[in-house]
Each structure stands twice: as structure tokens, then as C-alpha cells.
Chains A and B, each alone.
Chain A
Amino acid sequence: AQKITQTQPGMFVQEKEAVTLDCTYDTSDQSYGLFWYKQPSSGEMIFLIYQGSYDEQNATEGRYSLNFQKARKSANLVISASQLGDSAMYFCAMREGGMTTDSWGKLQFGAGTQVVVTP
């Protein structure tokens, strides 16, 4: 079963506007972490932001913030004041803290959302 779902294959956003990328997840673990990564066209995977399942505050890192709604199992990424350099593929991912060796350490990715920032 899909653990991470990103329903937006692609999005266009104008420069200086904010954009929200959706991510829902599925887990029965109490302990888990949610991550967002950026993959520009050059191919590298860049870690952006982390949200822990026990964190009561939404995570923020510069222009990135995570809208964490635990009851709805969603962890949406908000990019404020978009820049041309934000054009990239964005992946939501999860690590579970379960008790099976299958889940230990495994970072599970969604399919990604392609963001294009236009002038």
C-alpha cells in the first residue's frame, strides 16, 4: 500500500507567490518523521525540512514551512515568496519508528510534485 501520497503531479506558480504542495501519509506507528526534499533539474536531492510526529509546532526553515495536521495525516509544504530557483521536483517522505526491521531506517517517498515558477 502507498504510504506517501502526493496528488499534484505538477504546478505552475508565479514568482513571489506562495505555493502549497500536498502530502498525505499512512502509518500506524506513533513515532515517525516527515521530510521534504527538493530535486532540481541538475538531479541532486536536497533536504528541506523535517516534522516529527510528536512535534506540536509546525516546522519552519526560512521560506519553507510545513503545515502538519496529524489527525488528517497530512504534511503539506508551503513555499512562501516563490523564486525562479524554486523550480524543481519536490518529494514528501516518511521514516517510521516501528518495531519491524522492514521499517527501520527506510525513507519512503511519494511520487513527487513538479513545480515550475514563472516570472
Chain B
Amino acid sequence: IAGITQAPTSQILAAGRRMTLRCTQDMRHNAMYWYRQDLGLGLRLIHYSNTAGTTGKGEVPDGYSVSRANTDDFPLTLASAVPSQTSVYFCASSERGGPSSYNSPLHFGNGTRLTVT
């Protein structure tokens, strides 16, 4: 089934540890995104990539990094996890990114529930 695969589904992580959340899509979408969802704060964009080889910062990029070496994969790395990064992380993709993308819906993975202790 075509879509977005995120791994792991959930993780408990000690503060200070490094962690990479994986995201793979098989829809050949150009653009990919990482959001975090927190109670009371909604969904906030962390980083995005409008096409392979490019990335950009969203609303809450501090403490996170991304790479986009190819079309399909968009991993999110927490270099040194802190408790405030406890959240549900969603990876998403859309057919287009950039200025022509306003009519291109995002499709989401099932999320990764991360707890930093």
C-alpha cells in the first residue's frame, strides 16, 4: 500500500541521547515535512524539504536536523534530546512544494510517539 512509513512507532529516550526518526514515502512526492503535535499547541512545522537535496526551517527547528539525500527518505535527528522534545512526530509529504504547492494536500504518516526522560 502506497504511503508514508515512520519508524519507530514509539520510543522512550534518555535525555542527552541522540535519536533519528525515520520517514520513507513511496509516492514519489517532491516535498516532505516534519511536524510535532503537542496538546494545546497543535501541529507545528519543524523542518521541510521542497525537493530532494534541499531543506528549510519551519516554526520550531531548534534541536532538530534533517537531510534529504533522495526523494523517498527524510530522517529527523535529535542531536541531544531534551524533555521538551517529548511529543508526537508526524512526517508528511505532498506532490509539490514551493510556490505552486498551495493546492497540494499533505499526506501524513502514522506518527512516532517520543518520550524523553
Do A and B interact? Answer: yes
Residue A35 lies at the interface, judged by CB distance under 8 Å to chain B: yes
C-alpha gap A91/B106 in the complex (Å)? 13
Q: A31 vs B108: C-alpha distance in the bound complex, in angstroms?
A: 23
A residues neighboring B (CB under 8 Å): 29, 31-33, 35, 37, 43-47, 50, 52-53, 91, 95-99, 101, 104-107, 109-112
Known A43-B88, A44-B110; judge A111-B42 contact (CB<8 A): yes
Question: Can you report 9 residue pairs joining A to B where beta carbons are below 8 Å apart?
Answer: A33-B103, A37-B108, A44-B110, A50-B103, A53-B102, A95-B102, A97-B102, A105-B101, A106-B48
Cβ of A99 and Cβ of B99 under 8 Å apart?
yes
Could you tell me the distance between the alpha carbons of A72 and B58 in the complex, rounded to whole angstroms? 29
- How many residues of chain B get a CB closer than 8 Å to chain A's CBs? 30
Residues of A near B103 (CB, < 8 A) are: 33, 50, 52, 95
Asked if B43 CB lies within 8 Å of chain A CBs, one says yes
Residues 86 to 117 of chain B near chain A (Cβ within 8 Å): 88, 90, 92, 94, 97-111, 113
Contact A32 B45 (CB under 8 A): no
Specify which chain A residues have a CB less than 8 angstroms from the CB of B92 in the assembled complex: 45, 107
